[in-house]
C-alpha cells in the first residue's frame, strides 16, 4: 500500500474513531434516560415492558436514507433496546443502595381470583382445562395464539392473570415460558398440575388406514413418540396447540388427517377417537403456572421459585446450592437455561419448599442473592401435588 492510500485509510479510521466517541456519548445519555424512565415506572407502579413503545422506536428505521442499511439499522435499534431492557430490569429489582430487591411488597390474599384470565391455545386445550380447574367457571376467558401474547395481554391490562404450561413430567421444561418469565418480570401466583391424556382423533368414519398426516403440538409428538413409531409413513405436522390441531382436522374435513389432542377437543370439534391414551407414560402431567402482574401472598404458600445467574467461575453453583442444605430446605427442582447474551453462561430456575413468613427461608434467600450475579424471586405460592399423589388410568 502506497503512502497516499495509507493516509486515506488512516483518515477514514480517524473518522470512525470520532463517530464512535460520539456514539458512546449518545449511548451514555440514552441509558441515563432509560434509568430515569425505570425509576418513574417504579414510583408510579407501571409495568416494565411496553411493547407498543418498542414498535414505535423501530418505526424510526424509515428515516434511514440508504435503504441498503435499513435492516442493519433495525438490528442496531433492537440491540440498543435489548441493553435498555436489561438496565430497566435490573433497576426494577435492585434499588439505589446496591442490594437486590429480594422481597418485593407482597399483597396478602385469601385466594387468587380474577375477572378475566388468559390462556394460550383455543377451547379444548389443556391450558383451558388448567384454567377451569384452578379458577372454576367464574372468570371470563381470553385465548391467545402464542405464549408471549398472554404476557403482552397481562402487561396491557387486558387480563388479570395468565395460565401457561411450564413443564411436563416426561419432556421437561418449556423453555419459551421460562424465558418470558424473566423478560417480563411477572410473578407466579399459583400452579395447577393436569394429567395429560393424549388421543388420536379423526373425522367420524375414518380408520387408521386412511391416515396420511397427523398434527399436534411438538410436545404432543414427543409424549406419544412410541405410539407414532408404529406409523412411520405418517407425516407429522406441528401446530401451536393440541386443540388447534383438532380444529384443523375438523375444518379440513378429509379422512386422511388426524390429530393428537384431548378427549374434550374431540367432543368440541366433532371428531372420533381412533386410539385412546397413546401417551408414552400414563403418569404424564403438565404443570401450569398462574402469572400475575404483582406478587400475591397466602399463608398456606409452601413453594418458592427463583431465577438466578451465577458468576462464571469454579464453585459458584456449589456456593448457591449449599444454602439449601445449610438451612434445611428441600430443593424440589433446578433447571438451567442458556443466557441469550452470554456464551456458556446460564440462568438457573430453582423451586424449593418454603414460605416467606419463615425467617430461615428469608435468610437462605438473602444468602443466595448475595452469591448471584442476577436474582429474581418469581413467586411464593401453594404447590399442587396432584401429580405426586394420583394417577388416573381409567
The pLDDT tens digits for 122-168 are 999 999 999 999 998 888 999 998 999 999 999 888 999 999 999 98
- Rounded Cα distance between 88 and 279, Å, is 43
With 0-12 CB in 10 A as exposed, 13-18 as middle and 19+ as buried, what is 146? middle
| pLDDT surpasses 90 at 6 | no
For residue 301, give the nearest of 365, 356, 381, 377 by alpha carbon. 381
Q: What is the 3-state secondary structure (H, E, C) of 275-305?
A: ECCCCCCCCCEEEEEEEECCCEECCCCCEEE
Q: How far is CA 270 from the centre of its chain?
A: 32
- The residue that leads in pLDDT, 214 or 376, is 214
**Catalytic residue of the set 119, 221, 285, 286:** 286
For residue 333, give the nearest of 366, 303, 363 by alpha carbon. 303
pLDDT for the residue numbered 273: 96
- Residues 251-287 have pLDDT tens digits of 999 999 999 999 999 999 999 999 999 999 888 899 9
391 — pLDDT class (breaks 50, 70, 90): very low
Q: Which residue has the cell 400475575?
A: 292
- Rounded Cα distance between 182 and 291, Å, is 12
CB count within 10 Å of CB 243 equals 28
Residue 286 annotated as catalytic: yes
Between the CA of residue 154 and those of 82, 102, 171, 305, what are the distances in Å?
Answer: 21, 23, 27, 20
| pLDDT surpasses 60 at 95 | no
Residue 392 annotated as catalytic: no
pLDDT for the residue numbered 394: 36
- The residue that leads in pLDDT, 95 or 132, is 132
Residue pair 234/228 in contact (Cβ under 8 Å)? The answer is: yes
- The residue that leads in pLDDT, 172 or 49, is 172
How much is the mean pLDDT over the chain? 85
pLDDT for the residue numbered 9: 87
**Catalytic residue of the set 92, 288, 297, 324:** 288
pLDDT for the residue numbered 347: 85
- Rounded Cα distance between 298 and 150, Å, is 24
For residue 32, give the nearest of 94, 101, 98, 83 by alpha carbon. 83
Residue pair 166/174 in contact (Cβ under 8 Å)? The answer is: yes
Among 10-24, 58-72, 93-107, 373-387, which stretch is predicted with the lowest mean pLDDT? 93-107
pLDDT for the residue numbered 74: 86
The full DSSP string for 356-388 is TT-HHHHHHHHHHHHTEEEEEEEEEE----HHH
- Residues 279-304 have pLDDT tens digits of 998 888 999 999 998 888 777 889 99
- Rounded Cα distance between 30 and 25, Å, is 9
pLDDT for the residue numbered 231: 96
| pLDDT surpasses 90 at 175 | no
pLDDT for the residue numbered 107: 63
pLDDT for the residue numbered 318: 86
Tally: H helices and E strands in the chain: 13, 17
Amino acid at each position: 500500500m502506497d503512502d497516499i492510500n495509507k493516509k486515506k485509510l488512516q483518515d477514514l479510521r480517524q473518522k470512525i474513531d470520532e463517530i464512535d466517541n460520539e456514539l458512546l456519548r449518545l449511548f451514555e445519555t440514552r441509558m441515563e434516560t432509560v434509568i430515569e424512565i425505570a425509576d418513574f415506572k417504579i414510583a408510579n407502579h407501571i409495568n416494565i415492558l411496553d411493547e407498543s413503545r418498542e414498535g414505535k422506536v423501530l418505526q424510526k428505521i424509515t428515516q434511514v436514507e440508504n435503504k441498503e442499511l435499513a435492516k442493519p439499522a433495525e438490528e442496531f435499534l433492537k440491540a440498543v433496546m435489548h441493553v435498555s431492557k436489561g438496565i430497566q430490569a435490573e433497576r426494577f429489582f435492585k434499588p439505589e443502595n446496591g442490594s437486590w430487591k429480594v422481597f418485593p411488597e407482597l399483597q396478602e390474599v385469601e385466594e387468587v381470583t380474577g375477572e378475566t384470565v388468559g390462556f394460550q391455545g383455543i377451547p379444548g386445550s389443556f391450558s383451558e382445562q388448567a384454567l377451569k380447574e384452578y379458577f372454576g367457571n367464574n372468570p371470563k376467558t381470553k385465548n391467545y395464539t402464542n405464549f408471549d401474547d398472554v404476557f403482552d395481554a397481562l402487561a396491557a391490562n387486558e387480563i388479570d392473570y395468565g395460565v401457561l404450561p411450564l413443564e411436563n413430567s416426561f419432556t421437561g421444561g418449556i423453555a419459551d415460558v421460562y424465558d418470558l418469565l424473566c423478560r417480563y418480570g411477572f410473578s407466579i401466583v399459583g400452579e395447577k398440575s393436569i394429567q395429560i391424556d393424549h388421543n388420536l382423533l379423526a373425522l367420524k368414519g375414518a380408520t387408521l388406514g386412511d391416515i396420511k398426516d397427523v398434527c399436534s403440538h411438538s410436545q404432543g409428538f414427543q409424549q406419544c413418540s412410541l405410539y407414532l413409531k408404529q406409523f412411520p409413513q405418517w407425516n407429522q405436522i406441528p401446530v401451536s396447540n393440541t386443540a388447534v390441531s383438532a380444529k384443523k382436522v375438523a375444518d379440513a374435513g378429509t379422512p386422511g388427517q388426524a390429530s393428537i389432542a384431548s378427549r374434550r377437543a374431540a367432543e368440541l370439534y366433532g371428531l372420533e377417537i381412533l386410539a385412546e391414551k397413546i401417551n408414552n407414560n400414563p403418569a404424564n402431567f403438565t404443570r401450569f403456572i398462574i402469572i400475575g402482574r404483582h406478587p400475591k401472598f397466602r399463608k398456606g404458600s409452601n413453594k418458592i421459585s427463583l431465577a438466578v445467574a451465577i458468576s462464571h467461575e469454579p464453585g459458584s453453583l456449589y456456593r448457591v446450592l449449599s444454602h439449601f442444605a445449610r438451612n434445611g430446605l428441600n430443593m424440589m427442582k433446578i433447571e438451567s437455561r442458556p443466557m441469550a447474551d452470554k456464551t456458556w453462561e446460564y440462568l438457573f430456575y430453582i423451586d424449593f419448599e418454603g414460605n416467606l413468613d419463615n425467617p430461615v427461608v428469608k435468610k437462605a434467600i438473602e444468602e443466595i442473592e448475595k452469591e448471584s450475579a442476577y436474582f429474581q424471586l418469581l413467586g411464593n405460592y401453594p404447590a399442587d401435588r396432584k401429580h405426586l399423589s394420583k394417577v388416573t388410568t381409567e
